[in-house]
Amino acid sequence: MMTSDLAYFCGLWIAEGSFERKIGRISITCGDNDVGEILESGAIFGVLFKKVRSDQWRENSYALLEAMRFLGMPLVKAPGKWLPDWVWSGKREWACELLAGLLDGDGYVRSSANKVGFTTASGRLARDIQQLLAHIGVMSRLTSVESKPTERVKVSSLQYRVEIYGHDLSILRSCVKPRIQRKAKLLNDVNPSLKTRRGAPYVYSHLMNIKHAYRGTKMPELAAAISTARKGSDITYETLARVLAECSSAKRTKGWKTIKQLISDDFYWDEVVSIEVNSGESNTPL
């Protein structure tokens, strides 16, 4: 049942869609005409969406609405949306297409700032997007911004942002392909070689191992890294790479080899907040 086109449509609808249950109307509101290609093609269960204004396509189809309900799509208002269950158990290809739909909808690509982001009024959806990105190897940052009341909107609201920077942009670009050509070009123009937030914790002892092996040698990169690590802060992989380059004569030390392996692994380290005991029984034999 699931296809790449349908997965993309689901992402686009989660970002830009609405529905009217009583008349079975499904709407997509998007200012880029490129999305019309798939909406008007009949690729989504044969439904032919019609362009009713410069930025909106819609069609009345109880069958499509029922199919969306079957797929577990969030048929709710924007602040309550989430990612459907099939995303977590389906093919990687489908997850990437859904992310492409989300990016073409509420996403943005700022090549001048070298970052890509998703915006949503739903905290749950923002956390789902961040987790799905992590599943394909992309680490992101989740923040929220409060929108103050205006003359038009009388109440304040929270806007959630999931943003990707640095090396993770390269992974995102290889997996997620926007269908809006404007965004595809901007994504192609971002610079993934800039600094990333990825770093390694608890490297102080390894850095000190290098220092003790080469006392008396001036190594400013190593000294700065040791100072940062002594405070308990993570050291970015870029900084560690500069330390190894500066201390290349220390290749035989245990500390140098360990840091080299950490950089090669390129893990994303995160602090464990809590551990919950699962009361269920495991089917795996001990």
For residue range 131-163, list pLDDT tens digits in order: 999 999 998 989 998 877 777 666 777 899 999
Q: Which of 131, 102, 89, 125 is nearest to 8 (CA)?
A: 102
Distance, in Å, from the CA atom of 240 to the CA atom of 256, rounded to the nearest integer, reads 10
Rounded Cα gap, residues 56 and 95, in angstroms? 25
Residue 215 has pLDDT above 70, yes or no: no
Contact in structure between 170 and 185 (CB atoms under 8 Å):
no
CA-to-CA separations, 241 to 35, 70, 262, 266, in angstroms, rounded = 43, 50, 10, 12
The pLDDT, as a whole number, for residue 262 is 92
| pTM value surpassing 0.75 | yes
pLDDT of 243 over the 60 cut: yes
Dist. CA 153–CA 142, nearest whole Å:
25
Q: What is the enclosing helix (H) or strand (E) of 58? A: strand 56-60
pLDDT value for 285: 47
User: Per CATH, is 4-189 categorized as 3.10.28.10?
Assistant: yes
For residue 270, what pLDDT is reported?
Answer: 78
Average pLDDT over residues 68-97: 96
Query: CATH 3.10.28.10: which residues of the chain?
Result: 4-189
Q: In whole angstroms, what is the distance from residue 106 CA to residue 15 CA?
A: 5
Q: Is the pLDDT of residue 175 over 80?
A: yes
For residue 50, what are the β-bridge partners? 58
Given the DSSP bridges, would you call strands 157-165 and 115-120 parallel, antiparallel or unpaired? antiparallel
pLDDT digits (tens, 9 = 90+) for 59-69: 999 999 999 99
**Distance (Å, rounded) from C-alpha 45 to C-alpha 65?**
11
Q: 179 or 279, which is more confident?
A: 179
